[in-house]
Amino acid sequence: MTKDSHWLALEEPWQVALTLAWEAHIGGNVGVGAVLTDPRGRIVAVGRNRVSDKEAPPGRLRSTYIAHAEIDVLGQLMRGDYRHHTLWTTLESCPLCCMAIVMSNVGTVTYAARDRLWDGISRLAELNEFIARRWPVRRGPLGGPVSVFSELLPLLWFLEHKPSGSVVEKYESQHPRLLALAETLRGDARFADLKAHPLDVVLNQLWPDLAAIDAE
């Protein structure tokens, strides 16, 4: 494949969501991006994690731990029926965002990477009839090196800000190889320099490492 093939092979919503996740990471936030598409596949809303942002567009959360990418998208929606819309998110939704999706009546969620902290999250649909009735169709993880990258970005934030927390602890036991890559990249000046480059360049540089982890 040419250096651009990995990027060009992605559907547009994934390209946008991943770009937003990278933008979030560069800005010191948890690296997660999200996109909402309508029944015809057109992008109607975009968002990213803003937990560390000092400023945000009007009406959008920032500087709070609940300023998640999915909330950033869903908070832009008018009241309505979104059962035929799809939310694309680079990381599997947490309980907060799952309930926001239920309340927003979004019909489908597709995610690039699993969130290991919230294994078993789909059992929320078993809580009661209302949640079960509105529980979205879930598709994911995406798989491949892009999925590894989507899991890597949030891990980098937790490694820096909460190195002894439950997320890093989970990776120590469940995915030490990805944790080792995150630790290596944190101290690598070349990775820091990549923050000045477009995401397709970043993916091209990291692809061998991401592919090696995906192949495990």
Q: Note the pLDDT tens digit of each residue in 127-175.
A: 999 999 999 999 999 999 999 999 999 999 999 999 999 999 999 999 9
- 136: which residues sit within 8 A by CB, 6+ positions away? 87, 101, 102, 106, 107, 108, 109
Single pTM value for the model: 0.95
| pLDDT tens for each residue of 52-104 | 999 999 999 999 999 999 999 999 999 999 999 999 999 999 999 999 999 99
Of the candidates 96, 105, 51, the one whose C-alpha atom is nearest the C-alpha of residue 78 is 105
Query: Parallel, antiparallel, or unpaired for β 43-48 and 106-113?
Result: unpaired
